[in-house]
Amino acid sequence: MLSSQPYRGTRDFYPEKMAKRNYVFDTWKKALQKSGFVEYDTSIIENAELYIQKSGDELGGEQLYSFHDKGDRHIALRPEMTPTLARIVANKMGELRFPLRWFSIPRCFRYERPQKGRLREFFQLNYDIIGVEPGGADLEILMATINIFKEFGATKDQYKIIFNHRKVLDNWIEANGMESKKKLIYAVLDNWFKLTLDQNKEKLSTELNNTEIENIIKLTKKEGPQWDQYLEIANQTPELKLILKTTKELDDVDIEFSPTIIRGLAYYTGLVFESFDKNPDNNRAMCGGGRYDDLLSLFGKEAKSVGVGMGDVTWEEFLTNWDLWPKDIINKENDKVGLMPFSLEEVATMQTETIPELEKQGKKYEFDYDFDRSENKRWKELKKRGCDEIIKL
């Protein structure tokens, strides 16, 4: 006998769970459409080389679902959307009107050990503005992110957005004469709050002297002349000015500029940001994004871009943590009982002569076939809802 369990690390969306998923997707869409984004999608199957070429990345390595099709093509299930986005933009470069404001909610696959917040099959909202210089579009994507939270009814007590800028950090490192140690500083800042202060110090001490280490620590605390210098550099970065000015004026959002947001060693070239659930039980980043200017280089083309990704699993945890699910979604299935489907009602209206009589008497009725009052629970429920009569078809 076959097992009826789903494949490990994947989910069966029974109707109630599906209603929740639909609510999340629909609300993401609604918020992004208001912000001028349009939806795209692609096949989940891609040429495996699209991921393998980015050597050293685990997404293209041990986590990749790849295999050969019956024509011996080496194919893969997409582990993320960005390489695919690059492919389809490159493929119609001449026909598209830039900047593109595009979003998608791709189903993605990663072979990893299933755990809280991580599955083998998940959905990841991606939204990107493509083909536009740094500046206004970076602010726009931050605002679009905030509008997503607002569309779900989330308030500033529930989430926080933290942003940084790679150019500011680079310039600060340079101004403090640590250019040659940039890689180490990036790596340590990227994990700053995951380790203890002593552990961070120890890591930095492999290349930095004591003064330099103290400078870094002051910077992460946003204190002293180190932080003043960082802010001064930030205010002299033209593409960041509008962002700093605007975010300061947002009363209803907790948004912070901080040198500790790095987002790995990957392709980001300017703004980087993440959002966090303020509930300490859910401390993974809820979304991450930033400016990446070499999106299309795999295909020998260029389009400067800024984009964000967020996963459905973490997002659902956030909504559950803060009780942000609308009540009518949770109860929807229960309300269906005793509600006769349109198609059946149509049939019934044609086939029964009892209705005019019942209506004259002011009685409430429902339709059903194969209905046995004595053993059917539904009759009790219908009575509770004020139903007087069942019309059997």
Q: Which of residues 296-325 bind a copy of itself (CB under 8 A)?
A: 298-300
Member of 209, 236, 283, 351 binding a copy of itself (CB under 8 A): 351
Region from 158-166, 252-260, 272-280, 295-303 binding a copy of itself, contact rule CB under 8 A: 295-303
Burial 70-92 (b: 16+ CB within 10 A, else e): eeeeebbbbbbbbbbbbbebbee
How many other CB atoms are found less than 10 A from the CB of residue 357? Answer: 11
Member of 162, 344, 387, 391 binding a copy of itself (CB under 8 A): 344
Closer to a copy of itself by CB, 95 or 198: give it: 95
Task: Tell the smallest beta-carbon distance from residue 57 to a copy of itself (Å).
Answer: 15
Q: Which residues ranging from 33 to 52 are in contact with a copy of itself (CB under 8 A)?
A: 34-47, 49-50
Position 335 contacts a copy of itself (CB under 8 A): no
Task: Tell the smallest beta-carbon distance from residue 231 to a copy of itself (Å).
Answer: 20
Task: Tell the smallest beta-carbon distance from residue 88 to a copy of itself (Å).
Answer: 5
Closer to a copy of itself by CB, 65 or 257: give it: 65
Instruction: Tell me how far CA of residue 185 lies from CA of 171, 181, 391, in angstroms.
Output: 13, 6, 75
Distance CA 151, CA 144 (A): 10
Cβ contacts of residue 272 below 8 Å, gap of 6+?
Answer: 163, 164, 165, 166, 261, 262, 263, 288, 289, 290, 291
How many other CB atoms are found less than 10 A from the CB of residue 159? Answer: 23
Member of 27, 58, 75, 292 binding a copy of itself (CB under 8 A): 75
Token couple for 154: 């989330």
Closer to a copy of itself by CB, 96 or 217: give it: 96
Q: Which residues ranging from 181 to 220 are in contact with a copy of itself (CB under 8 A)?
A: none
Task: Tell the smallest beta-carbon distance from residue 323 to a copy of itself (Å).
Answer: 23
Position 135 contacts a copy of itself (CB under 8 A): yes
Q: Which residues ranging from 220 to 279 are in contact with a copy of itself (CB under 8 A)?
A: 242, 245-246, 249
Distance CA 308, CA 306 (A): 7
Closer to a copy of itself by CB, 277 or 368: give it: 368
Contact by Cβ (8 Å): 21, 312: yes
Residue 75, strand partner residues: 47, 67
Task: Tell the smallest beta-carbon distance from residue 15 to a copy of itself (Å).
Answer: 4
DSSP string, 316-346: HHHHHHTT-S-HHHHHHHHHTTT---HHHHH
Distance CA 181, CA 172 (A): 12
Position 92 contacts a copy of itself (CB under 8 A): yes
Member of 57, 133, 254, 293 binding a copy of itself (CB under 8 A): 133
Distance CA 332, CA 342 (A): 17
